[in-house]
Amino acid sequence: MRPLYLQGSGTTIKRDGPALRVIRAGAAERWFPLRRISQVVSAAHIDWSVDALLACAENRITVSFIDDEGAVLARLIGRPGERYELRQRLLDFLLRPDWQDLYLQWNGAMERMAVRSVIRRTGLGFDRPPSAKELRQLFQDGARGMDQLPAYERIGREVYGLLTGLVTRHLADAGITAELEPMGELNPVIGLSSILFWDFQLARLAWLEDRLRENRLGIPDRIEIVGFFEARRKRTEHLTRGLLNRLHRWLIELV
């Protein structure tokens, strides 16, 4: 199964039996079997038919709609998967009067773990380990020093949007959707995505350094950024599963 990325003006998506049919002005029509699609990332201006969207929902395919700046405008989340143990553990956890404090503690511990991993990979020696805020500022200063801060920030917005789509799919496979879980600002999609996003901080700075050496200046286009994300998909999927396993074990230990 592979993700499907849709962009380009004058593009229409329709259902054609067990496949999505992509119709684009001036180009040959293409068909993508639903059983081979893991998720869809669609530009906001793509014209979707209702049948095509329902087909994605029926096949548990998450569709994320991205604006021109890379921000997520909306998501369609299909039917949840059949592995419900994590979902039930989370629902039971939300009945606790102290769930918010406990979840924030766990989320903070996972972020600190992610930050320590990034610090190790920088290979830099610090008199004291920088905080998350300080490390984030360090990377921004690095991009600014290359005169590439707008590109660094744009890559971040695009990658974060793609990452939330990936996390949404994994949670939906476990029966957890934003509509079902009354977590408000502590929505697990945002929490988990923010932790996983740390794995892209050093990588996007290194990518900009490579582009600079190749004299490729300015903001990469969306296709390039998608390629950057896809090159790290296997690792990101592995980290996502690992983080969900940690959440599951933590919920079990709370009993």
pLDDT value at residue 37: 92
**Closest CA relative to residue 118, chosen from 199, 30, 208:** 199
What is the band of 167 on the pLDDT scale with cuts at 50, 70, 90?
very high
pLDDT digits (tens, 9 = 90+) for 101-122: 999 999 999 999 999 999 988 8
pLDDT digits (tens, 9 = 90+) for 19-74: 999 998 888 999 999 999 988 999 988 999 999 999 998 888 889 898 888 888 88
Share of residues in the chain with pLDDT > 70 (%):
94
158 CB burial (10 A radius; 0-12, 13-18, 19+): buried
Q: What is the mean pLDDT of residues 2-15?
A: 91
Alpha helices, DSSP H only, in 85-187? 85-93, 99-122, 132-145, 149-173
What is the band of 82 on the pLDDT scale with cuts at 50, 70, 90?
low
Class of the CATH domain delimited by 2-76? alpha beta
What is the band of 232 on the pLDDT scale with cuts at 50, 70, 90?
very high
Domain boundaries, the chain: 2-76, 85-254
